[in-house]
Amino acid sequence: MSGAFRGGTHPHDFKEFSRAAAIANAPVPDELVVPAVQHIGAPAKICVKVGDIVKRGQVIAEAGGFVSAAVHSPVSGKVKRLDKTAHPMGMTVDAVILENDHNDEWAEGLNTEPIDWTTLTAEEMKKRISAAGLVGMGGATFPTHVKLSPPPEKKIEAVILNGVECEPFLTADDRLMRESPKTIVEGLRIVMKIVNAPRGIIGIEENKPEAIASMQQAVSGINDIEVKPLPVMYPQGAEKQLIFACLGKEVPSGGLPMDAGAVVQNVGTANAIYEAVVLNRPLTERITSVTGPGIERPGNYRVRLGTPAKVLLDLCGFKKGLTKKLIYGGPMMGAAHYDETVPVNKGMSGILALTEANEDDYRDCIRCGRCVDGCPAGLIPSEISILCERVKYLDTPSVNVLDCIECGVCTYVCPARRPIVQWIKVAKSMLAAERARQQMKAKQEQEKKAAKA
């Protein structure tokens, strides 16, 4: 029953919708909406003007800091206007609206013939990755070059590739592993060289036997890389849980993977790393699953970033009337949205149309303990939810709310249908606001003191 980590649950995986569909190239629309915010960290700064002619791969928004990523033009064409667009998470962000000239010309020096990456130094490769605007493509969208820059005192024991794809419905990583295992392995070897790791592990859930076979074949003959089939258990693909499953080590509470001697990358990111380093290709497209019961012909598509979701939905036969929930990402952690024109961004691993919604009303906690059994972070979600229900948000750190990874297991299993994750999100933001208030107060007091002195 138990997975490789403590807790977890078994949602039906619903992969049957799109697992058989090979990755196809999605049509490139005439107009693309490229948001400047496609990653966690500082927003990128738009560096083109209306009317500018851009080539594919040209930087249209520069990284806004170290923890940030550049955005590149996904097509060749003209900047039509600068506007706002909806982000999957609900906010409105700046975007560049491009007119596609359908020539698909790469900017100079990009998309070159493959080079032998072993001749490059770690720094050179990291520079290429950073320049390509790579971010974690599993959905967290953390800038990749930051993850690949552990402080020198942290010894990296292993690089783990995340091919778990534990979110139900999504099959993009599955298909990628089946169709281009070689580039993924090359990407992994590049990462291993950059962080100087002696081992590579590719973790894949056992419900993807084809992907496991394909990856195993690709790594045959490579001694330092191992394909590790993992038991099917949500959230096996959560970073810390995956490290535990692969290395048997816990990442300290509040720590980073590197504290357990691990660097974790998504398989999609590994593929993009290969493209960035070997082919000098910036990130201009990604694999996205379009699936769910509200989709007539579910499939996996190689999509240009900035393609409005509507293009894909229409392509796949979107049953709009039947769809009750439109989700960008997976059903456990993805964001429900009201707008079907949200453009595909670097972290959008799936577009999901669900025809059924959950019940809306919730009851008192019945103390069944299912959330406690399921919580992979070892928390007592019911306690957190009760505190939050009584608007005692500021007391929640005592029940370790900040250790929550928001995987959604507690809310999935709750028979009283309590929206625990939402409460936790509220509590976290309240705590952040309170912290900001405290800092402000301390600063003001300091200033007062300084003024007095």
Partner 1 sequence: MTVAIIAMAVLGAVLGLILAYASKKFHVETDPRVDQVLEALPGANCGACGYPGCSAYAEAVVLKGAPINMCIPGATGSAMAIGKIMGVEATATEPRFAMVSCNGDGVAQRFEYQGVKTCNAASVMGLAGAFQNCPYGCLGLGSCAKACPFGAIRMGEDNLPYVDENLCTGCGKCAEVCPRKLPKVGPESRVIFVRCNNKDRGALANKTCNHACIGCGKCERECPFDAIHVINNLAVIDYDKCKLCGKCVNVCPKNLIINVRAERKARKTAREEKAAEETA
Partner 2 sequence: MSPLTHFIVSTPPHIKSEQNINSIMRWVCLALAPAFCVSLYSFGWYALFVTAVCVGACIATEAICQRLRHVPVTINDFSAVVTGLLLAAVIPPNVDWWVAAVGGIFAIAVGKHCFGGLGNNIWNPALLARAFLQVAVASQMNSGAWGKLAQGTDGWTKLGHTLHGAFDQLANTPDAVTGATAMAQISRPVAETKDFVMQNIPGYWQLVKDSFWGYEGGSIAEVSAVMLLLGGLLLLWKKIITWEIPVMYLGTVALLGWICPAPYLYQGETLYTPLFSGPVLLHLVGGGVMIGAFFMATDMVTTPMTKTGRIIFGIGCGVITIMIRVYSSAYPEGVCYSILLMNTCVPLIDAWTKPKKFGQHAAASANHAGK
112 touches partner 1 by CB under 8 A: no
Q: Of 411, 300, 304, which is closest to residue 351 (Cα–Cα)?
A: 300
Residues 245-284 that bind partner 2 (CB under 8 A): 249-255, 259-260
Q: Which helix (H) or strand (E) holds 365?
A: none
Min dist. Cβ of residue 209 to partner 1 (A): 37
Min dist. Cβ of residue 325 to partner 2 (A): 5
Two structure tokens written together for 183: 């580039």
Q: Of 31, 30, 27, 29, which is closest to residue 96 (Cα–Cα)?
A: 31
DSSP 200: E
337 touches partner 2 by CB under 8 A: yes
* Region near partner 2 per CB under 8 A, out of 20-28, 297-305, 321-329, 427-435: 321-329
Q: Of 187, 130, 183, 128, which is closest to residue 159 (Cα–Cα)?
A: 187
The three-state secondary structure class of 266 is: strand
429 touches partner 1 by CB under 8 A: yes
Which of 141/265 has CB closer to partner 1? 141
Min dist. Cβ of residue 399 to partner 2 (A): 9
Which of 59/377 has CB closer to partner 2? 377
430 is in the binding site of which of partner 2, partner 1, none (Cβ under 5 to 8 A by kind)?
Answer: partner 1
Phi then psi dihedrals of residue 452, to 5 deg: -65, -45
| Binding pattern for the stretch 223-242 against partner 2, x by CB under 8 A and - elsewhere | -----------------xx-
Min dist. Cβ of residue 217 to partner 1 (A): 41
* Region near partner 2 per CB under 8 A, out of 75-83, 185-193, 197-205, 413-421: 413-421
Other beta carbons within 10 angstroms of residue 223's beta carbon come to 7
310 touches partner 1 by CB under 8 A: no
Q: Are 333 and 349 in contact (CB under 8 A)?
A: no
Other beta carbons within 10 angstroms of residue 64's beta carbon come to 17
Spatial separation of the C-alpha atoms in residues 5 and 235, rounded to whole Å: 9
Q: Are 378 and 358 in contact (CB under 8 A)?
A: no
377 is in the binding site of which of partner 1, partner 2, none (Cβ under 5 to 8 A by kind)?
Answer: partner 2
Rg of the Cα trace of the chain?
22
Contacting partner 1 (CB under 8 A), which of 101, 154, 425, 431?
Answer: 425
Q: Which helix (H) or strand (E) holds 96?
A: strand 92-100
110 is in the binding site of which of partner 2, partner 1, none (Cβ under 5 to 8 A by kind)?
Answer: none
412 touches partner 1 by CB under 8 A: no
The three-state secondary structure class of 426 is: helix
In sequence order, the 6+-apart residues with CB closer than 8 A to the CB of 285 are: 74, 302, 303, 304, 305
Min dist. Cβ of residue 165 to partner 2 (A): 16
444 touches partner 1 by CB under 8 A: no
Contacting partner 2 (CB under 8 A), which of 80, 310, 324, 428?
Answer: 324
91 is in the binding site of which of partner 1, partner 2, none (Cβ under 5 to 8 A by kind)?
Answer: partner 1
Q: Which residues of 168-189 are buried (b: 16+ CB within 10 A; e: fewer)?
A: bbbbbbbbbbbbbbebbbbbbb
Contacting partner 1 (CB under 8 A), which of 24, 357, 366, 442?
Answer: 357
Q: Going by DSSP bridges, is the β-strand pair 158-163/71-72 parallel, antiparallel, or unpaired?
A: unpaired
Q: Are 165 and 208 in contact (CB under 8 A)?
A: yes
Q: Which residue has the tokens 């975007």?
A: 95
The separation between CA 230 and the C-alpha centre of its own chain, rounded to angstroms, equals: 20
Other beta carbons within 10 angstroms of residue 360's beta carbon come to 7
Contacting partner 2 (CB under 8 A), which of 358, 398, 438, 439?
Answer: 358
Contacting partner 1 (CB under 8 A), which of 42, 67, 89, 431?
Answer: 89
Contacting partner 2 (CB under 8 A), which of 202, 273, 283, 421?
Answer: 421
Using CB under 8 A, list all residues that contact partner 1: 86-87, 89-92, 335, 338-339, 357-358, 360, 391, 419, 422-423, 425-426, 429-430
Using CB under 8 A, list all residues that contact partner 2: 5-6, 9, 11, 168, 240-241, 244, 249-255, 259-260, 323-327, 329, 331-339, 352, 354, 357-359, 361, 363-370, 372-373, 375-380, 382, 400, 403, 406, 408, 411-417, 419, 421-422, 425
